[in-house]
Amino acid sequence: MDLLVLAEGAARRAAGYLRNVARPDPASWTAKGPRDFATDIDRHAEAMITESLLEAEPGSTVLGEELSPDAAAAALVWIVDPLDGTTNFLHGYPVSAVSIAALADGELEAGVVLRLEPDCCFRARRGGGAWVGERRLRVSTIRDPRHALIGTGFPFKHPELLPAYQQQFARVMLSTSGIRRAGSAALDLADVAAGRFDGFWEQSLAPWDVAAGILLVREAGGVVTDLQGRDWAVGHGSVVAGNPAIHAWLLEGLTIDE
């Protein structure tokens, strides 16, 4: 079956639920760590996605943030974030998304990032480009860092990374036209693919935060690596993305001397 069609269908099912559910009282939030919350809403959305995907592809596995973060490997792995930007969602700040990627035999084959508000579905297929609606996505053509707008994410789960991050932030801020932090890495990467951001970096992300967005950037003509310049591999780590020129500039400028 078409993996992109399956991913988009599952994402739309979960998004329909998320758009209509009442936001829970903070007393019911579960703290996974400092400043990192989950709710029954996240877990129910992931259960819906899992049901849809495994019914369509019974031999596959779901690697999901809430219910199966340590799922075993399989020939086909669905990498799922049922609600990227949970804190935004809980506060009614309209920057959150459902993110689903299909990893087949170690290759990212399809990815969907479905923004909840406004309804906007970014999708990509390996070798088939990145799209939103009928519009093909392309990374920006800006080469001069002085004109670049850069996305980022704070290391809120890892305060030990703050000193290095603050050095990185200062370097980028003083050399570009601006930095933005919206709170959803999946949407940040979609914005790189769409050419709204010229680059993006974050020090520590999980595979479900970025898998679909990475395919979007690649298929839109961009480059994604970790802070050491290595190709992205499934796991927890840093991400640097951008059009080829700004990615190279970021990679050089983000290196912090120990």
Rg of the Cα atoms in the chain:
17
Q: Distances in Å between the alpha carbon of 34 and those of 117, 119, 257?
A: 26, 30, 28
* SS3 state of residue 116: coil
Instruction: Return the CATH fold of 3-136.
Output: Fructose-1,6-Bisphosphatase; Chain A, domain 1 (3.30.540)
Backbone angles phi, psi at 223, to 5 degrees: -125, 140
Q: Distances in Å between the alpha carbon of 89 and those of 95, 197, 215, 241?
A: 7, 22, 24, 25
Check residue 23 and give its pLDDT: 85
Residues 182, 150 contacting (CB under 8 angstroms): no
d(CA 106, CA 126): 12
d(CA 215, CA 211): 7
Check residue 136 and give its pLDDT: 98
Candidates 66, 49, 43, 40; CA nearest to 11 is 49
Task: Point out the residues of the chain with pLDDT beneath 50.
Answer: 258
pLDDT in tens, 146-181: 999 999 999 988 889 999 999 999 999 999 999 999
Check residue 258 and give its pLDDT: 46
Check residue 37 and give its pLDDT: 72
* SS3 state of residue 144: coil
pLDDT in tens, 5-39: 999 999 999 999 999 998 888 877 777 666 667 78
- Domains of the chain, by residue range, sit at 3-136, 145-253
Cα-Cα-Cα-Cα torsion 115, 119, 123, 129, nearest 10 degrees, comes to -120
d(CA 119, CA 125): 20
Please check whether the domain covering 145-253 is classified as CATH 3.40.190.80.
yes
